[in-house]
C-alpha cells in the first residue's frame, strides 16, 4: 500500500504502522456486568465491529479459568493481542468484575476473560465462579486452566476446587445431551498452563500429578443416572504447557508465549487446539442470542440442556433469518402488483418470481443452513410456503390477464381472417385459432408456474377452453345467420325470372313450372347450406331447424314473387296480353285487320271466355303434377313453434293458406275489370272496321 500511497518518509511510515498496531487492538466488551446482567444491547453490534458477524462457523471461542491474580489477563493479552484489564502492580486496584470478551488480533478467535472475587480464598460465596464456569463450558471450545507451579499437587487447594466445580457442571450440562443423540464427540479441551515454571520439576511430572488429581476428583463426584460408568476422558481432552516467570525471565516468557500462540493459530501444529470436534457449532450470527439465553438459564439455575438450547436457538435464528429474507423479498416483488393489476401480461414475471424466491431461499440457506438441521428444514418449508403465498396472487393475476388477452386475440384473429380470407372455411378458421390460443395460453402459463408450489393451470385452461367455445358458438350462430341470409338472397334471385316467365302466360301447367323452379332452387339452397354447415360444426338439431327455416323463407320469397306477379295491374296486363294474343292476332301471330264481314263478335267472345277461364288458374297454387306439390309444416303443427309464436318470438306461418293466391271475391273483381278492358278492346276493333268503311 505504501507504493501506491506515494512518497513518504520512513519515520512517518514507521510511526503510522505502530499507531495502527495499537489501534488494531480490538476493543474488549463487558459481556456480563458486575450485577450479573448479560449485555444484550452491545454484543451483536460489537460482533459486527469485530467483523465476525458473518463468520458462520469460521471462528473459535476460548475462555480462561483460574484463581485471581494468577496472570490470566496478562497471558490472554500476550497470546491474542487482546485488551483485558490487568491488575495494576503498584496500586493493586481491583479490575472490573464480570465476564469480558475480546476478539483476538488478526485471528477469528473470541476470547473470554472472567474477573471475579476470589471467593474461595476469601471464603466468599462461589456463586459467580460456578456460573461463569458453566457459561464458559457451554460456549468455549478450549478452556485455559491457569495455575502457579506451586499450586500443582495441592489437591485441597483453590484450583482443584474450581476443577471439581467444572466437572460437576459439565456432568449436569451433558446429562440431557447424552440421553439424546449427541455422541461423545462433544468434548472440551482443557489446556493447563503452569505459570512461573522454575524447571526443576519437569513438565511431565507436573502433568502426571495433575492427571492423578483430576482422576481423584472425577471418582469422588456423584454422577447422574446413566453416567455412573463414564470416564473423565469421555468429556475432556487435556493438554499441558508451562511458562517461565514473567518478571524474572521476561524474554524467555515472551518466547514461550509466542510458541504457545502457534497452537491457537496454526492448524498444522500437532498441538493445534481449535480442532473441529471441539466447536460448539453455533454460527457466529447466532452467538448473541445463544450466549444470552445460556446466561439466562445459568442465572435462573435451570438445567442447562445444550441440545435443547441449540434447537431453541435454531428456531429463533431461522425465524429471524427467514423474516429478514422475506422482508427483502417482499420489497422486491412489490412492483409486480402494479403491473398485474393494470392488466398487462409480464413476459418475465415467471423468471422474476423464481429469481426473487430463489434469492430469498439462498439467503436463508446460507445463514440458516448452519443451524439444527431438522429445525432448519422445517423453517425452510415454512418460508417457501410464505414466499409462494405472496407470489400466488401474481401468478393468478397473470393467468387472469393472460386469459383476457388470449381470448381477445382469438376473437379478433378469427374476425380478421374472415374479413381477409375470401374463401375461408369457418370451422377451420375457428379450429386453428382455438388451438393457437390454447397453445399460447399454456406456454405462457407454464412460464409463471413455479416449481415447488401446489399451483396448477389446468383449471384455468379448462375455463379458457369453455369461453373460447362459447365465443365460437356465438360467432357460428352469427355466421350461420349470415350464410342463411346469403342463401335466401340467392333463392330470391333464382326464383325471380323463372317465376315471372312461368306466370306471364297463364296455362294449365304454369304452377308446375313455378314449383319445378322452386324445387330446383330450394334443392340448391339446401345443399349449399349443408355443405357450409359441415365446416361450422352445427349440431343436427341446428341443421334441422335451419333447414325448416330455409324452406319456409324460400316459400315466403316465392309467395312474394307470386303476389307481385298477381298484383291488380300486373295481372290485368297479363290477362289483357292473353286476350289480345287471341283477339288481335291470328293463329299465325299476325295482327288482324278487321273487315266488316269478319265475325268480330264471335272472336271477341271466344278470346274473352278463354281468358276469363284462366283467372282461376292464378287464384291457387296447384300443379297438374301432384308430385310437384309442396308441403311445408305450419307453426301450429309444432307445439314448440306454436309456443314461440305465442310469445311473439316467431311469426305465424300457416302453410295451407299460402296456397291461396286470391279469394273468390277478388277473382270476380278481376273478372269484371278484365271484361271492361276486353270490352274496350272490342269497341276499338269495331270502330276500326267502321273507320275503314268510312274511308
From 73-81, 157-165, 189-197, 319-327, span contacting Mg ion (CB under 5 A): 73-81
Q: Rounded to an integer, what distance in angstroms lies between the CA atom of residue 217 and that of residue 166? A: 11
- The one-character DSSP state at 94 is P
CB of 154 to ligand GDP, least distance (A): 17
The bridge status of strand 98-103 relative to strand 188-195 is: unpaired
Can you name the residues that pair with 192 across neighbouring β-strands? 145, 240
CB of 200 to ligand GDP, least distance (A): 17
- Whichever of 77 and 634 has its CB closer to ligand GDP, that residue is 77
Site string for ligand GDP, 21-60 (x = CB under 6 A): ----------------------------------------
Q: Residue 611: name its binding partner from Mg ion, ligand GDP, none (Cβ under 5 to 8 Å by kind).
A: none
CB of 116 to ligand GDP, least distance (A): 9
From 72-80, 130-138, 185-193, 372-380, span contacting Mg ion (CB under 5 A): 72-80
Count of chain residues binding ligand GDP (CB under 6 A): 15
Residue bearing cell 436463508: 364
- The one-character DSSP state at 102 is E
Q: Does 132 bind ligand GDP (CB under 6 A)?
A: no
Q: Does 195 bind ligand GDP (CB under 6 A)?
A: yes
CB of 304 to ligand GDP, least distance (A): 26
Residue nearest to Mg ion (CB): 73
Q: Does 89 bind ligand GDP (CB under 6 A)?
A: yes
CA distances from 573 to 124, 419, 504, 506, 683 (A): 146, 47, 9, 12, 18
From 42-50, 243-251, 553-561, 674-682, span contacting ligand GDP (CB under 6 A): 243-251
- Whichever of 75 and 361 has its CB closer to Mg ion, that residue is 75
Per DSSP, the three-state class of 188 is strand
- Asked if residues 612 and 572 have their Cβ atoms less than 8 Å apart, the reply is no
Comparing CA positions, the residue from 495, 352, 475, 498 lying closest to residue 418 is 475
Select the residue interacting with ligand GDP from 28, 46, 72, 120 (CB under 6 A). 72
Select the residue interacting with ligand GDP from 97, 164, 187, 245 (CB under 6 A). 245
Count of chain residues binding Mg ion (CB under 5 A): 2
Q: Does 39 bind Mg ion (CB under 5 A)?
A: no
- Whichever of 102 and 304 has its CB closer to Mg ion, that residue is 102
Q: Residue 641: name its binding partner from Mg ion, ligand GDP, none (Cβ under 5 to 8 Å by kind).
A: none
CB of 82 to Mg ion, least distance (A): 11
Q: Residue 411: name its binding partner from Mg ion, ligand GDP, none (Cβ under 5 to 8 Å by kind).
A: none
- Whichever of 25 and 417 has its CB closer to Mg ion, that residue is 25
- Asked if residues 141 and 64 have their Cβ atoms less than 8 Å apart, the reply is no
Q: Residue 69: name its binding partner from Mg ion, ligand GDP, none (Cβ under 5 to 8 Å by kind).
A: ligand GDP
Q: Does 198 bind ligand GDP (CB under 6 A)?
A: no
Compute how many other C-beta atoms are within 10 angstroms of the C-beta atom of residue 404. Answer: 13
Q: Does 170 bind ligand GDP (CB under 6 A)?
A: no
Q: Does 363 bind ligand GDP (CB under 6 A)?
A: no
Strand order in the sheet with 60-66: 29-32, 98-103, 109-115, 60-66, 142-148, 188-195, 236-242
- Asked if residues 391 and 333 have their Cβ atoms less than 8 Å apart, the reply is yes
Q: Does 73 bind ligand GDP (CB under 6 A)?
A: yes
- Whichever of 97 and 223 has its CB closer to ligand GDP, that residue is 97
Question: What percentage of the chain's residues is helix, strand, coil (to nearest 5)?
Answer: 65, 5, 30
Q: Does 71 bind ligand GDP (CB under 6 A)?
A: yes
Q: Does 554 bind ligand GDP (CB under 6 A)?
A: no
- Whichever of 87 and 239 has its CB closer to ligand GDP, that residue is 87
- Whichever of 87 and 645 has its CB closer to Mg ion, that residue is 87
- Asked if residues 124 and 276 have their Cβ atoms less than 8 Å apart, the reply is no
Q: Rounded to an integer, what distance in angstroms lies between the CA atom of residue 466 and that of residue 464? A: 5
Q: Does 74 bind ligand GDP (CB under 6 A)?
A: yes
Q: How far is CA 264 from the centre of its chain?
A: 51
Per DSSP, the three-state class of 247 is coil
Select the residue interacting with ligand GDP from 168, 196, 213, 479 (CB under 6 A). 196
From 36-44, 65-73, 278-286, 350-358, span contacting ligand GDP (CB under 6 A): 65-73
Expressed in angstroms, the distance from the first to the final Cα of the chain is 148
Q: Does 83 bind ligand GDP (CB under 6 A)?
A: no
Q: Does 86 bind ligand GDP (CB under 6 A)?
A: yes
Q: How far is CA 562 from the centre of its chain?
A: 69
**601-609: long-range pairs with CB below 8 Å, 24+:** 604/678, 604/682, 604/685, 606/582, 607/579, 607/582, 607/583, 607/678, 608/579, 608/583, 608/675, 608/678, 608/682
Give the H or E element holding residue 240.
strand 236-242
- Whichever of 86 and 572 has its CB closer to ligand GDP, that residue is 86
Q: Does 78 bind ligand GDP (CB under 6 A)?
A: no
The bridge status of strand 109-115 relative to strand 188-195 is: unpaired
Comparing CA positions, the residue from 395, 406, 371, 155 lying closest to residue 284 is 371
Phi (first) and psi of residue 111, to 5 degrees: -115, 135
Select the residue interacting with ligand GDP from 178, 246, 357, 363 (CB under 6 A). 246
Can you name the residues that pair with 533 across neighbouring β-strands? none
CB of 151 to ligand GDP, least distance (A): 12
Q: Residues 191, 196, 199, 202: what is their CA dihedral angle, to the nearest 10 degrees?
A: -20
CB of 305 to Mg ion, least distance (A): 31
Residue nearest to ligand GDP (CB): 71
From 67-75, 431-439, 582-590, 663-671, span contacting Mg ion (CB under 5 A): 67-75
Q: Is the dihedral of CA 567, 570, 573, 575 positive or negative?
A: negative
Q: Rounded to an integer, what distance in angstroms lies between the CA atom of residue 75 and that of residue 592? A: 157
Q: Rounded to an integer, what distance in angstroms lies between the CA atom of residue 277 and that of residue 553? A: 98
Q: Does 73 bind Mg ion (CB under 5 A)?
A: yes
Q: Does 69 bind ligand GDP (CB under 6 A)?
A: yes
Q: Does 292 bind ligand GDP (CB under 6 A)?
A: no
Select the residue interacting with ligand GDP from 44, 55, 87, 330 (CB under 6 A). 87
Supply angle C-alpha 619, 625, 626, rounded to 5.
85
CB of 87 to Mg ion, least distance (A): 7
Point out which residues bind Mg ion (CB under 5 A): 72-73
Point out which residues bind ligand GDP (CB under 6 A): 68-74, 86-87, 89, 195-196, 245-247
Amino acid at each position: 500500500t505504501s507504493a501506491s500511497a506515494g512518497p513518504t518518509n520512513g519515520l512517518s511510515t514507521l510511526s503510522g504502522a505502530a499507531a495502527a498496531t495499537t489501534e488494531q487492538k480490538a476493543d474488549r466488551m463487558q459481556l456480563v456486568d458486575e450485577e450479573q446482567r448479560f449485555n444484550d444491547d452491545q454484543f451483536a453490534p460489537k460482533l459486527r465491529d469485530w467483523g465476525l458477524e458473518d463468520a458462520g462457523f469460521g471462528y473459535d471461542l476460548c475462555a480462561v479459568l483460574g484463581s485471581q491474580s494468577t496472570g490470566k489477563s496478562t497471558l490472554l493479552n500476550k497470546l491474542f493481542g487482546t485488551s483485558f484489564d490487568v491488575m495494576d502492580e503498584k496500586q493493586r486496584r481491583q479490575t472490573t468484575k464480570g465476564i469480558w470478551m475480546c476478539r483476538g488480533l488478526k485471528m477469528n478467535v473470541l476470547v473470554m476473560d472472567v474477573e471475579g472475587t476470589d471467593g474461595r480464598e476469601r471464603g466468599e460465596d462461589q456463586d459467580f465462579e460456578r456460573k461463569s464456569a458453566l457459561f464458559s463450558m457451554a460456549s468455549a471450545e478450549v478452556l485455559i486452566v491457569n495455575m502457579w507451579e506451586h499450586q500443582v499437587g495441592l489437591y485441597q487447594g483453590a484450583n482443584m476446587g474450581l476443577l471439581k466445580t467444572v466437572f460437576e457442571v459439565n456432568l449436569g450440562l451433558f446429562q440431557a445431551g447424552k440421553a439424546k443423540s449427541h455422541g461423545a464427540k462433544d468434548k472440551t479441551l482443557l489446556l493447563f498452563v503452569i505459570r512461573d515454571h522454575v524447571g526443576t520439576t519437569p513438565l511431565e511430572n507436573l502433568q502426571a500429578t495433575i492427571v492423578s488429581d483430576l482422576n481423584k476428583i472425577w471418582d469422588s463426584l456423584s454422577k447422574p443416572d446413566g453416567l455412573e460408568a463414564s470416564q473423565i476422558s469421555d468429556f475432556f481432552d487435556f493438554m499441558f504447557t508451562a511458562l517461565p516467570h514473567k518478571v524474572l525471565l521476561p524474554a524467555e516468557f515472551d518466547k514461550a508465549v509466542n510458541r504457545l500462540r502457534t497452537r491457537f493459530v496454526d492448524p498444522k501444529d500437532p498441538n493445534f487446539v481449535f480442532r473441529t470436534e471441539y466447536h460448539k457449532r453455533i454460527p457466529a450470527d447466532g452467538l448473541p442470542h445463544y450466549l444470552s439465553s445460556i446466561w439466562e438459564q445459568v442465572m435462573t439455575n435451570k438445567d442447562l440442556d445444550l441440545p435443547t438450547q441449540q434447537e431453541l436457538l435454531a428456531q429463533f435464528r431461522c425465524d429471524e433469518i427467514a423474516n429478514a429474507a422475506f422482508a427483502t423479498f417482499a420489497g422486491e416483488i412489490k412492483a409486480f402488483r402494479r403491473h398485474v393489476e393494470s392488466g398487462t401480461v409480464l413476459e418475465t414475471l415467471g423468471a422474476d418470481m423464481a429469481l426473487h424466491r430463489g434469492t430469498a431461499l439462498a439467503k436463508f440457506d446460507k445463514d440458516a443452513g448452519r443451524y439444527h438441521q431438522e429445525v432448519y428444514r422445517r423453517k425452510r418449508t415454512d418460508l417457501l410456503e410464505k414466499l409462494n403465498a405472496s407470489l400466488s396472487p401474481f401468478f393468478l393475476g397473470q393467468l387472469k390477464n393472460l386469459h383476457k388477452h388470449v381470448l381477445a386475440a382469438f376473437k379478433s384473429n378469427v374476425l380478421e381472417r374472415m374479413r381477409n380470407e375470401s374463401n375461408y372455411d369457418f370451422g377451420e378458421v375457428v379450429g386453428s385459432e382455438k388451438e393457437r390460443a390454447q397453445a399460447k395460453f399454456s406456454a405462457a402459463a407454464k412460464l409463471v408456474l413455479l416449481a415447488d408450489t401446489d399451483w396448477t393451470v389446468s383449471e384455468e385452461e379448462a375455463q379458457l377452453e369453455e369461453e373460447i367455445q362459447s365465443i365460437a358458438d356465438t360467432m357460428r350462430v352469427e355466421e350461420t345467420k349470415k350464410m342463411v341470409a346469403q342463401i335466401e338472397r340467392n333463392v330470391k334471385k333464382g326464383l325471380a325470372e323463372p317465376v315471372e316467365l312461368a306466370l306471364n302466360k297463364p296455362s294449365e301447367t304454369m304452377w308446375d313450372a313455378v314449383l319445378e323452379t322452386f324445387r330446383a332452387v330450394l334443392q340448391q339452397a339446401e345443399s349449399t347450406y349443408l355443405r357450409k354447415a359441415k365446416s361450422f360444426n352445427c349440431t343436427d338439431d341446428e341443421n334441422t331447424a335451419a333447414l325448416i327455416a330455409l324452406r319456409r323463407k324460400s316459400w315466403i320469397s316465392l309467395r312474394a314473387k307470386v303476389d307481385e306477379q298477381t298484383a291488380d295491374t300486373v295481372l290485368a296486363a297479363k290477362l289483357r296480353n292473353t286476350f289480345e294474343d287471341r283477339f288481335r292476332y291470328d293463329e299465325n301471330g299476325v295482327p288482324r285487320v278487321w273487315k266488316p264481314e269478319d265475325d268480330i263478335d264471335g272472336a271477341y267472345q271466344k278470346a274473352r271466355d278463354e281468358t276469363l277461364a284462366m283467372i282461376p288458374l292464378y287464384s291457387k297454387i296447384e300443379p297438374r303434377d301432384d308430385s310437384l306439390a309442396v308441403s311445408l309444416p305450419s307453426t301450429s303443427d309444432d307445439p314448440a313453434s306454436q309456443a314461440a309464436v305465442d310469445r311473439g318470438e316467431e311469426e305465424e306461418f300457416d302453410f295451407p293458406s299460402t296456397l291461396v293466391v286470391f279469394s273468390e271475391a277478388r277473382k270476380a273483381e278481376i273478372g269484371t275489370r278484365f271484361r271492361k278492358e276486353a270490352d274496350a278492346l272490342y269497341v276499338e276493333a269495331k270502330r276500326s272496321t267502321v273507320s275503314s268503311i268510312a274511308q
